[in-house]
Amino acid sequence: KQEVTQIPAALSVPEGENLVLNCSFTDSAIYNLQWFRQDPGKGLTSLLLIQSSQREQTSGRLNASLDKSSGRSTLYIAASQPGDSATYLCAADTGNQFYFGTGTSLTVIP
């Protein structure tokens, strides 16, 4: 069974810092890996989806990378802003099911 782990569970950074969130998965046989943002009391917002054949995807200040062989993905956030404060979740799609990590709670301090 696929297991997805996110470290750290919580992170606080001052505004303007660049930061990296980590996601690891135990089974490299995935179709894609998706990063989401979840604000308190809200649903999930898709940020980036990386297909298994891709190495990275970029959207604005966000860059997600995927290394299937090592079972790792990272989400890089450049020049963090207070509005980036949220929980970030990664999910590995095995084709049969989506497996979510428990998330990293990010606080960007003004």
Scanning 53-61, 69-77, 78-86, 98-106 for contacts with other proteins by CB under 8 A, the matching segment is 98-106
Of 108, 93, 89, nearest to 22 by C-alpha is 89
Name which of residues 37 to 66 contact other proteins (CB under 8 A). 41-46, 49
What amino acid is encoded at 70 in this protein? S
> Pattern of binders to other proteins over 4-33, x per CB under 8 A?
x--------------------------xx-
Which DSSP category does 83 fall into?
Answer: G
Q: Judged by CB under 8 A, does residue 97 bind other proteins?
A: yes
| Phi, psi dihedral angles at 27 (to 5 degrees) | -110, 115
